[in-house]
Amino acid sequence: MAYVWEPRWEPYTVEVDGIKIRTCRDKTTGMIACPICIHAASKCLDLSKEPRDYNYENSFFFSPTDLIIHIREYHFRGKNAKILREKLAETAKRRH
């Protein structure tokens, strides 16, 4: 039997230890998505259009702490950290 999970995203703000992250949460399951992995900016935050070539990944979490750990361990390490720093710099530039 095949089961396909169709998430219904809503904007959600995660707050852990003073760190605030805007991302998407599934209305049905309450699963919190990693904003970088699913490109939350276009998925539910209406901040940008869906990018044409984006390396989407499925990373969902039940607790805000797990999300923070994922971002710290996965996105701020090695080559991912370099890509993320470039993206953040790009976003900061666009804001001004």
- Positions in the binding site for Zn ion (CB under 5 A): 34, 36-37, 59
Shortest distance, CB of residue 45 to Zn ion, whole angstroms? 15
Copy the structure tokens of residue 20.
Answer: 């605030």
User: How many whole angstroms separate alpha carbon 45 and alpha carbon 21?
Assistant: 12
Q: Which residue in the shown chain puts its C-beta closest to Zn ion?
A: 34
**Separation between Cα atoms, residue 40 and residue 55, nearest integer Å:** 13
What's the closest the beta carbon of residue 37 comes to Zn ion, in angstroms?
A: 3
Our CB check for Zn ion shows the closer of 1 and 43 to be: 43
How many CB atoms sit inside 10 A of residue 75's CB?
A: 19
What's the closest the beta carbon of residue 87 comes to Zn ion, in angstroms?
12
Given a contact cutoff of 8 angstroms between Cβ atoms, the answer to whether 1 and 19 are in contact is: no
Task: Report the nearest approach of Zn ion to the CB of residue 67 (Å).
Answer: 8
- CB atoms under 10 Å from CB of 86, counted, come to 10
Compare residues 32 and 36 and give the one whose CB is closer to Zn ion.
Answer: 36
